A and B are shown apart, each in its own frame.
Chain A
């Protein structure tokens, strides 16, 4: 009895002792770990400082260490600005105001996992957005005027008299970022820099783009059909020639960018790929999960499903990078962004129309969306929504019938009520924000009487008295009873369908709304198995109508001229536009085309949507770009 008791006491004491020791142990190691992290941070800071100094010594001009406003311009660049032959001109708009502050981490969101950051083969919107921060192009549009160009990597751009030869001079103060690899392992020492960005890197990009094995570059390749030759005249001069000059070539040349040859031409241990397989090797290159650029931010971390992290490039010559870090959280559930705006976890996010309604139009007065904690704004992107009428169907072969459909469509009401006023009525085949959009044309009025008259003129009458108009076509009495395909995952589209259906019923037309899932919808549209469908086109600033409107595209399987629009006059304008370089004449031609389609109404042009964005109060100088990505945060800075 006595011994048993003693044993019990002893073992209890021992257990308690172990327990206490474990706690002390954990606490101790936690403290050590903390110190270690601090130490590592300090070493990193020292390393960074050293690296920047080193860089100044190597490149011979320490000026490139300039802050968020960039460095003073090299004399050659200044001289080039006054050369009348130079296509680039000085952009007087600045990214940042002179009192902008540097520093801080900007928290943004991304709605999907980027598939990788090989700029040439990935064309997703998410990858393009990151590319805009991490990389540079030869040139770009002016910040506030998309009809003019400014230099980025290139500073001088000369187009020959016959418009076939483009010669560009590149700046010599751009350097490739340091690749994000496990440097400590020693396996990647062969990547050690610094590597200047040269004309050879642009040539390397074109080599890969024209390489058949690089399937991902095929969409881009189609713009270079007339490509004749390209070469690097020296390290910083690049020349490209086309067999026939076309206007879009100008835009494509401006959008060219270099690719780091020192990285992509080699496998993981630094051995060069054989030329026979380099295309395929490039498509699944070992560095593709990451991306390398020479832009204002460095891609420093990517965890699929979690985050993309960008760090400020302190050596970027053009500035416009106030934030030390941009941290994208990947939020695939669309309900997350408004939640995270409320908690302050996101600095900025756009809202979907339904969220805009819930949070802003119908939200509580004291919610952050209303009480001033969050600021709101909007931007226009290059898009227009439309209803396409399949002209190969009997109902819409006659333009008067199509005009009648437009008169029966209560577009303004739908924009105001269904789309919450977040858009502008559009009258022709380009977004209303297009510089060459013709504002002199009035939208088709909502006028059922007029629609009736037009239908009568087109021969659609109710001859059998069943309340639905009909017409004798090739001996058969065809009733005006058609299918309207809408994108089924969107409630707004279904509402449009239902309201339109009621209005059409009033003028004796029967419309059946069929909502469809995206893949199915595209299949139907590609196969032309539709009467009418509502969709949207998204484009860029330059006008190029061939793909959607030229008659040569009307019979192409899966072609984009899905309504079968064939019009000799339209073809003439499209072809003339392709060859016209003079901006004033381009504008005149665009207006002419706009008027023609306004009259023909192959589509009922609906509206151009604007997007709403909300951001935290401490984010300053928020304004949006005219080109994609519209929410480019380079002008923004964090206060305090």
Chain B
């Protein structure tokens, strides 16, 4: 048994890594970029005052979240003058053929290549056969690309040494920022600035000469995926792209809502569908059984978003009935409530969401219970129990149900991830700020870190749930062993 558990846990590691790779790749290649303004104001409206001029802040944003890095492998150490020159010419539209889309892409490329583009930029700048426009652009780009990333500023509580480092980088960057010229500058200015850059380039030569080892490291580790995993290994899910708060903290704050909701619906589902399943297996193929089955399947096929909106309009709006609150998990101001009042308040708010979140599962689970019991009800030991003269209730509940419910019990373990994951539809319609609506919003805002965190947590729970479910088989059924 122990061997089996250990083996399973070891197997989980590569499975989890594969899952995370798939999620990461899909997320990063999905259309849309994080940080790009997603809100549409009113339908189709754009703010005239801030539509442009977001470039620099977006560049810093990309840098902070490693979005300027390639997703899986990085070959940027090889970038030389020809690549850079091609991009710069595309930005300037030298041959008149680059489409606006190409120019946007070129601008983005040069930005994303960061320090890797410096070699090429210096090359373009020093090449006096280039047009002044091109050289001017190269010098302007250098003032950004040559800056060292000051990642330490994101760190809290700097040591004295780190503080000195931050200061040194800031100083070096400030120096670099000043060395640019415009296309109409005098030749003297141009050559003076070019000389300054060349001198700087030589002084920092060690930065640009990548050894084999460095290339290897850059290839695998200077990528979005490696950076993300580096943080994840330290159980750091990163901060939200949206409000820069730690993702884990945000996720934890949603748990209260989702767990309450899903725990009560699981409880409700089991409390109703087990007796129902047993009842209908005893009365198999009677009219009552058929009616119940039909009703359950009708409920099963009703989409929950429809039922939710229907119930909300029927039972909350005031015409004709006003029984339940219109939305939320609790009243807006609960500070004046005692514990009892609070529990009542929450209960009142979540009756409708729980109903909408569970009615569909009733059909499936009660069918499981029914067929589970039907499997054993005709077996020999049940007949023996009847022959002993035991009352029918004892035969069914004590002898048959115990064995018949094994599949149902093990299903419980696989519900673990849904317990945390919440339900998107229910939470959005009823305005409950749980995990489901959090995931939904994060996807809309392309908040990669938040989406990754939620999905990874629930896939980890799925794996654990599957293990528990397998183990519980062995626990409740002595015939199954893992030896």
Q: Which residues of A contact B (CB under 8 A)?
A: 26, 29-30, 33-34, 37, 41, 107, 112-113, 115-116, 123-125, 212-213, 215-219, 221-222, 267, 274, 276-277, 279-281, 283-284, 288-289, 304-307, 309, 327, 329-333, 335-336, 339-340, 342-343, 345, 364, 367-368, 383, 385, 487, 489-490, 492-493, 518-520, 522, 526-529, 534-540, 544, 547-548, 553, 555-560, 609
Contact = CB atoms under 8 A, between A and B. Distances in A.
A518 B166 CA distance: 40
A536 B44 contact: yes
Nearest to A38: B336
20 contacts: A41-B336, A115-B243, A217-B57, A274-B158, A276-B166, A277-B166, A289-B243, A305-B437, A306-B332, A333-B327, A342-B318, A342-B319, A343-B318, A383-B42, A490-B43, A492-B43, A527-B101, A557-B104, A557-B107, A609-B42
Contact of B46 (A33, A364, A536): A536
Interface string B19-32: 00000000000011
Interface in B1-44: 31-33, 36, 38-44
A547 B432 CA distance: 41
B61 interface: yes
Given A280-B154, A333-B428, A538-B45, A215 B327 contact: no
A288 B107 CA distance: 32
B44 A304 contact: no
A327 B38 contact: no
Given A339-B313, A529-B101, A216 B57 contact: yes
A559 B52 contact: yes
B394 interface: no
Contacts of A30: 338-341
Given A33-B339, A327-B333, A527-B104, 5 more contacts: A33-B338, A284-B154, A333-B431, A339-B327, A519-B38
B53 A222 contact: yes
B407 interface: no
Interface string B44-68: 1111111111111110110000000
B322 interface: yes
Contact of B336 (A37, A222, A385, A544): A37
Contacts of B99: 527-529
B316 interface: yes
B30 to A, nearest CB: 10
Interface in B422-441: 428-429, 431-433, 437-438, 441
A148 B154 CA distance: 43
Nearest to A336: B327
B332 A307 contact: yes
A333 B50 CA distance: 27
B48 A547 contact: yes
B53 A345 contact: no
A104 B364 CA distance: 50
B245 to A, nearest CB: 7
Contacts of B56: 212, 215, 218
A274 B433 CA distance: 38
B107 A339 contact: no
Given A219-B57, A339-B317, A519-B38, A538 B336 contact: no
Given A37-B336, A276-B163, A331 B44 contact: no
B167 interface: yes
B36 A529 contact: no
Nearest to A281: B153
Contacts of A309: 333
B328 interface: yes
A219 B50 contact: yes
Nearest to A352: B43
B39 A112 contact: yes
B251 to A, nearest CB: 12
Nearest to B432: A305
B103 interface: yes
Contact of A489 (B43, B50, B245, B429): B43
A339 B339 CA distance: 29
B100 A526 contact: yes
B46 A538 contact: yes
Contacts of A33: 338-339
B466 interface: no
A213 B153 contact: yes
A327 B332 contact: yes
Contacts of A535: 44-46
B213 interface: no
B296 interface: no
A490 B326 contact: no
B328 to A, nearest CB: 7
B42 A560 contact: no
A443 B156 CA distance: 60
B253 interface: yes
B44 A487 contact: yes
Most buried by B among A116, A331, A555, A558: A558
A131 B93 CA distance: 43
A232 B433 CA distance: 45
A543 B212 CA distance: 58
B46 A529 contact: no
B61 A215 contact: yes
B390 interface: no
Given A33-B339, A331-B327, A306 B244 contact: no
Contacts of A548: 48
B385 interface: no
B242 interface: yes
A307 B43 CA distance: 24
